Structure 1
Amino acid sequence: MSVTGKGMSPASFVRIKAPSAVPVPALRSRRRHCHSSSCRRAHSQDSSSSVSCHRHGALHSLCGGVRGDGASGYRQSFLRGRRLRKFEINVSSDVITGDGSVEEEDESEKKRQEVRRIVMPSALVLLSSNLCRISMPVALVPLAATYGWNGATVGLIGSSFLWGYMATQLLGGALADAVGGKRALFVGMLLWFGATGALALATSVPVAAIVPTLCALRAVVGAGQGAMMSSMQQVVATHIPQKRRATALGAIYGGFHMGNIVGLVLCPLLIAMRSVEASFLAVALVGLPVIAFWQSNVPPKAKGEGASSTTAASSPSSTLSFVSLMRDCGMAPWAIVIATFVNHFAYFLFLNWMPAYFVSEYGVSLRASAKLSVAPWICCAIVSSASGVIADRVARMPGMTLTRVRKLFQCTSFVGTALSLVALSAANQPTAAMVCFIACFGFISVGQAGFVANTGDVAPPRLVGRLFGLANTFGSLGGILSTSAAGILSEMSGFGFAWVFRSTAAILLTGAMLYARFASAEPAVGGNKN
């Protein structure tokens, strides 16, 4: 009898793995339980190699040659020379598949490794980055009251983060692709945590120099975070397969939004108990354990390493240049750029103006404003994580393509956020406004399974950083426009925040139409006009 399956010869067994639950010495000592003539011939041919015997032993354990391996029900059929119908031995993929197979154990182990080495460090880094971001919008409320700044000045300082953020997006993406996301993000963390700590000294300069100093330091914080998203995308695209990528990104961005929750709780407390300077210093000190955790867990870039490396090397996109990606591959990459611009236009409006909105529109205190702002960010974190899991499951449903899934989730994000903003523009109570903000944040987070995951679908892993960097450059421009415009329009008679919210809703609806028309999840290939 031949146990090779599908007509394979005994020599094909050299690629079969042993189940981890059975020790190697036990496998070697129990080879005598197998009575297959073909296996005996294979053993005699490979008797000089203990590794080969180990692999033959793995086959025997699955077939029932070893007691207590969970497959004893097949022992008699094996010994009588019958064909095993419930196992398919796939030598070319180096995995044994079937009920209770080694493949399932390997898959579970891969998922655990992805969580420990990629998802958790990335989520923690993004959490700390948003903690640095939110520290300034919270601090601007007491600073504006102390120095008598108007809305335009507050908007100027709030948007200064995005000057540096936009300036380093392409550079950060290229750096992530060149040296790996781990190294690029390490450099970025040193910059943004250092500049956040330096903000504690900004108020000690002459009054006339406080605004330029704050703007310059916040620009450095933004410059440091310019490589963050590109680096994270590069790490995820390299080490996590596409079928689990949306789930991973959802969990990572869940940590990102948790940073706002921590900041809205921690920063007002520190300002009330100590000072604005103490809040900046405390946020900067968070960087020490975060950097250590990132460096000790994330694997470095290695040639040929990663979840997508083997397929990417043999695909037509392996020779695709970044210029060709943007010039010759149709509108799919540009749909990601457009979606990023629209998403960031709304997101940075919420990030920079929500605390000030509650203070100026309803006259609540800073701590009360922070409390009202926490609930929307909690919703943001939950929906962000859930949307990735749901998107990956929907993509496996019959009749669903990945392109349809990306369009469905992104258009739901933009349209839902737009309708929520229209409702927000008519709110006249703090509680009603908070409910509308919760809806806005929930819908905007659905986009993590849309345009964010779409970047890794379209671009090969070696170009993901640059594509995300280009998209985030335009996204930063959108954030600068919305943050600055909100500061100017909120103080103009006849306009105010209601007009800002309605204009943003119109931009979101336009973005939904463009993404639905041009987006695709097909891998980019030169000359493919998708």
Structure 2
Amino acid sequence: GGERDGDGQLVVKAPVAGGKVNGEDRGNEGALQGGGGDGGGRRRLQIVGFCFAAFILCNMDRVNLSIAMLPMSEEFGWGPSTKGLVQSSFFWGYLLTQVAGGVWADRMGGKVVLGFGVLWWSLATVLTPVAARAGLPTLLLCRAMMGVGEGVAMPAMNTLLSRWIPKQERSRSLAFVYSGMFVGSIAGLSCSPFLISNYGFESVFLLFGSFGLLWGATWYFAGASGPEEDERVGEREREYIVQSTSTRAPAEEIPWRRLLGRSEVWAIIVCHFCHNWGTFILLTWMPTYYADVLGFDLFESGFYSVLPWISMAIASNAAGYFADTQLIGKGTSVTFTRKLMQSIGFMGPAVCLSLLSSVNSPQEAVALLVISQSCDAFSQSGLYSNHQDIAPRYAGVLLGMSNTAGVLAGVLGTYAVGVILEDGSWDQVWTVAVGLYVLGTVVWNAFSTGEELEEFKA
């Protein structure tokens, strides 16, 4: 609504909690807080909460094998190469559904695709102990099928949030959702040693997988792909979201050629590969590094593996809040914000990993890994927010494209560590990761942007 001033000009009055006043973006005022003209944000917070919970389950089900690997490798007689093969098999299926998950989510909406993904990977998790005892090929297939389900989760979430979350709330919302992965790692790594010691390695797969089945049943009744078709969202909040986001309807056709013709898109793809190489090495091999190099037992490996993920959960949300309120919210360009956040996300781990070979105690090594992962968490407000910045209408498929490169890094990196360690050392493992972090920093600062590309606007 509005009224005319003394000169007869129309003055538009924005809702208290955000939107625009006389054409000027009010940024974060009241964003994601109760009350105000945005309808209080209650419904979109519910969607963010569901995504957060799904990502907790995602990493709980992924990291449980990294702890269970210790007793399983002893029981089944696996060497380093076989362990690397088992760890990497998840990524075979994960790779297959990255782009497909993005296409499905952009066309059908995120509710169906995310729900399918959680239920599929949870069922595969429950079946993992049976597959392990049936033989190595069956286990590899089961882990690959789990990857198929988890592969659609990130593109589906990206599509959901591109339709539910205004741009000025994006860094915080994405940081919070992605921190669910860190919380999942914390929960999985904390609970797994106790469960394995008391109930056997099978228990972590049965228990964690059952949580996902419960989530899926709840999401079926309470989830929604966007505010336009959701009956639970208030009218004021619906109007606020629609006016504050670029996406209006699911994409019917994907402009593949135009997407792949943009250097900004390739910056995301290349940097996703560089980022995930180091991240997935730490995700899958950290307990083994603690046990073999630092001399920790099962419980110590689980405990010290948790610390970097705790620091990531804290740093991710702090960085998201800082990016939204202190940078973008105070007039700093989105482009500068994304470049700053991602530069920290790359160079922090590069410096820390390069120092690991010179430490004198296990505690110093753990401290470096904690600092490394804390810096890595700034990527949630850099690389991982950028898909929705440059092409929100195609956010799901764009994330699917870049995460395909990221998954290739996971497959190659996770297996390469096992091969390197057959005759080499952990110093060689870290050297490769550091080189890719530096490459990513150069590419990101040279070619990325935080502005929406005109040709992809709805």
Common fold, TM-score beyond 0.5? yes
1:170 to 99, 106, 110: 99
Flag the structure with more relative contact order, 1 or 2, with Cα contacts below 8 A and sequence separation at least 6: 2
Match of 1:26 in 2: none
Match of 1:471 in 2: 402
Determine whether 1:247 maps to 2:172: yes
- Superposition deviation, residue 333 in structure 1: 1.2
- Superposition deviation, residue 296 in structure 1: 3.6
- Superposition deviation, residue 327 in structure 1: 3.7
| Rounded Cα–Cα distance in structure 1 between residues aligned with 2:456 and 2:224 | 34
Match of 2:299 in 1: 367
- Superposition deviation, residue 197 in structure 1: 0.5
| Rounded Cα–Cα distance in structure 2 between residues aligned with 1:267 and 1:259 | 12
Amino acid at match of 1:479: G
Is 335-344 or 519-528 further displaced after alignment? 519-528
Determine whether 1:150 maps to 2:98: no
Relative to structure 1, the CA distance from residue 283 to residue 320 in structure 2 (aligned partners, 3 Å threshold; closer, same or farther) is: closer
Which segments of 5 or more consecutive residues in structure 2 lack a partner in the other structure?
A: 231-237
Q: What is the 5 A alignment of 1:333-348?
A: 333-348=265-280
| Rounded Cα–Cα distance in structure 1 between residues aligned with 2:115 and 2:65 | 22
Q: What is the 5 A alignment of 1:231-270?
A: 231-270=156-195
Relative to structure 1, the CA distance from residue 525 to residue 269 in structure 2 (aligned partners, 3 Å threshold; closer, same or farther) is: same
Match of 2:121 in 1: 192
Determine whether 1:526 maps to 2:455: yes
Determine whether 1:510 maps to 2:439: yes
1:97-130 deviations in Å (ceiling 9; x for gaps)? xx99xx9943463433322x22211100000010
Which segments of 5 or more consecutive residues in structure 1 lack a partner in the other structure?
A: 20-88, 94-98
Amino acid at match of 2:455: G
TM-score, normalising length from structure 2?
0.88
Aligned length: 437
Amino acid at match of 2:107: A
Q: What is the 5 A alignment of 1:298-317?
A: 298-301=223-226, 307=241, 312=246
Q: What is the 5 A alignment of 1:269-348?
A: 269-301=194-226, 307=241, 312=246, 321-328=254-261, 330-348=262-280
| Rounded Cα–Cα distance in structure 1 between residues aligned with 2:334 and 2:90 | 34
- Superposition deviation, residue 319 in structure 1: 9.9
Amino acid at match of 2:435: A
Amino acid at match of 1:388: G
Taking only aligned residues, the RMSD between alpha carbons, in angstroms, comes to 3.2
| Rounded Cα–Cα distance in structure 2 between residues aligned with 1:92 and 1:399 | 15
- Superposition deviation, residue 311 in structure 1: 6.0
Is 145-154 or 427-436 further displaced after alignment? 427-436
Match of 2:378 in 1: 446
Match of 2:288 in 1: 356
Contact kept, 8 Å, 1:121 with 1:293, in 2: the verdict is: no
Larger Rg: 1
Contact kept, 8 Å, 1:237 with 1:456, in 2: the verdict is: yes
- Superposition deviation, residue 215 in structure 1: 1.0
Relative to structure 1, the CA distance from residue 140 to residue 5 in structure 2 (aligned partners, 3 Å threshold; closer, same or farther) is: same
| Rounded Cα–Cα distance in structure 1 between residues aligned with 2:456 and 2:204 | 52
2:130 to 197, 201, 207: 201
Match of 1:5 in 2: 4
1:38-66 deviations in Å (ceiling 9; x for gaps)? xxxxxxxxxxxxxxxxxxxxxxxxxxxxx
1:21-49 deviations in Å (ceiling 9; x for gaps)? xxxxxxxxxxxxxxxxxxxxxxxxxxxxx
Relative to structure 1, the CA distance from residue 371 to residue 199 in structure 2 (aligned partners, 3 Å threshold; closer, same or farther) is: same
Contact kept, 8 Å, 2:335 with 2:451, in 1: the verdict is: yes
| Rounded Cα–Cα distance in structure 1 between residues aligned with 2:7 and 2:158 | 41
Match of 1:215 in 2: 140
Q: What is the aligned-residue identity percentage?
A: 30
Relative to structure 1, the CA distance from residue 523 to residue 437 in structure 2 (aligned partners, 3 Å threshold; closer, same or farther) is: same
Match of 2:340 in 1: 408
| Rounded Cα–Cα distance in structure 2 between residues aligned with 1:211 and 1:313 | 45
